[in-house]
């Protein structure tokens, strides 16, 4: 199997090494698409930042406000069925957001931490800009289309009908989320949570013992997104050959296809690629780099190309890694 035989049933996607940022596989990775609840990853990143900065405990109780009223009128939406006026801990709300993709849970968190859904979105957009996620366009924090989200009726700043990302920016966001807040993986690997006596199942059907669980590696995250325009999408992370990798799959035609395509892509990596540490002649001293390459290719054809950035102060000498005549694509988090 080669790269042209995988990912055929999806519109766009990307597979990267989480730590190094090396792009292992990609398809239409810069195409901007509706992503539905995958945009909650930016919401969760923003929430974790705020909790950390303001030193807010996960056990802090939050009262569900009236802003979530109206979601119950749409039976097909993912919610935790939170009750207005009832209290929930921040930990419960984060779990519901990540595990069950609960729209009401992320809205309650946003209202508590930022005072309004519009302010929540503004902070999310500021974070997207800081992370150089240039494709991001937001309507709200939950990922719902504007016409069925009661929280955006008076949001005159909305420029699109629903949240949009490209696969590359979702991968970069996930890189940073895991790097800065690794505790997120303790939540995303939960198979089920309980709120108000109701069990909410994880929407990720590639977790261990789930329907599409792989056999040679264990998936421990991360998030799904589903919508009429977004199709069936997901961000998956796992460890292969002792390296954490991140896979973004956008707009598969069915729930089954998104997970089968994701599993096929990760199987392709596990069976056909190898990761090795190579010492490269970097300046001012040699350094070791973890590099993925197809098994049939040697590791003796790597070379460096240096670039001096004269516009930055202080001026910085940077380099890129080349294989044969092609630059090794790398997503950098800073």
Please enumerate, by residue number, every residue annotated as part of a binding site for substrate. Answer: 223
Q: Tell me, rounded to whole angstroms, the distance of Cα 109 from its chain centroid.
A: 19
Helix H or strand E encompassing 270: helix 255-272
Label residue 322 exposed, middle or buried (CB < 10 Å: 0-12, 13-18, 19+). Answer: middle
- Residues annotated in the binding site, as ranges? 223
Strand order of the β-sheet with 12-17 is 23-27, 12-17, 243-252, 231-240, 219-227
**What residues contact residue 85 under an 8 Å CB cut-off, 6+ apart?**
63, 64
Q: How far apart are alpha carbons 226 and 230 in whole angstroms?
A: 6
* Marked catalytic residue, from 101, 151, 233, 251: 101
Among left, alpha and beta (phi > 0; psi -120 to 50; other), residue 34 is beta
279 is catalytic: no
The active-site residue, picked from 37, 78, 151, 233, is 37
Q: Which helix (H) or strand (E) holds 322?
A: strand 316-323
Q: Are 80 and 99 in contact (CB under 8 A)?
A: no
CB 187 within 8 A of CB 200: no
Phi, psi at 254, each rounded to 5°: -155, 165
Residue 158 Rama label (left phi>0; alpha psi -120 to 50; beta): beta
Query: Which one is catalytic: 20, 39, 40, 151?
Result: 40
What residues contact 330, with CB distance under 8 A and at least 6 apart?
20, 21, 22, 23, 320, 321
Catalytic residue positions, numbered: 37, 40, 101
């Amino acid at each position: 199997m080669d790269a042209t035989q995988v990912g055929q049933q999806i519109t766009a996607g990307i597979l990267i090494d989480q730590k190094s940022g090396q792009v292992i596989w990609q398809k239409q990775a810069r195409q901007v698409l509706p992503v539905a609840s995958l945009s909650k990853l930016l919401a969760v990143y923003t929430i974790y930042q705020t909790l950390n900065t303001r030193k807010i405990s996960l056990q802090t109780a939050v009262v569900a406000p009236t802003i979530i009223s109206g979601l119950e009128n749409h039976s097909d939406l993912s919610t935790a069925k939170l009750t207005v006026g009832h209290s929930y801990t921040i930990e419960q709300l984060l779990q519901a957001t990540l595990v069950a993709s609960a729209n009401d849970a992320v809205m309650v968190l946003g209202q508590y931490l930022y005072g309004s859904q519009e302010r929540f979105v503004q902070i999310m957009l500021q974070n997207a800009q800081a992370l150089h996620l240039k494709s991001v366009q937001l309507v709200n924090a939950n990922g719902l289309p504007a016409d069925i989200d009661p929280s955006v009726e008076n949001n005159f700043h909305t420029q699109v009908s629903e949240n949009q990302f490209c696969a590359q920016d979702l991968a970069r966001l996930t890189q940073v989320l895991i790097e800065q807040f690794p505790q997120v993986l303790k939540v995303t690997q939960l198979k089920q949570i309980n709120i108000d006596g109701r069990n909410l199942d994880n929407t990720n059907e590639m977790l261990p013992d789930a329907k599409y669980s792989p056999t040679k590696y264990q998936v421990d995250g991360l998030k799904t997104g589903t919508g009429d325009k977004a199709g069936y999408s997901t961000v998956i992370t796992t460890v292969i050959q002792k390296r954490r990798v991140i896979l973004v799959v956008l707009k598969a035609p069915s729930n089954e296809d998104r997970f089968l395509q994701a599993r096929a892509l990760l199987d392709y990596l596990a069976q056909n690629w190898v990761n090795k540490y190579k010492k490269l002649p970097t300046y001012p001293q040699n350094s070791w780099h973890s590099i993925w390459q197809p098994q049939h290719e040697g590791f003796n054809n790597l070379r460096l190309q240096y670039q001096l950035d004269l516009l930055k102060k202080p001026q910085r000498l940077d380099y890129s890694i080349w294989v044969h005549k092609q630059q090794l694509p790398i997503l950098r988090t800073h």
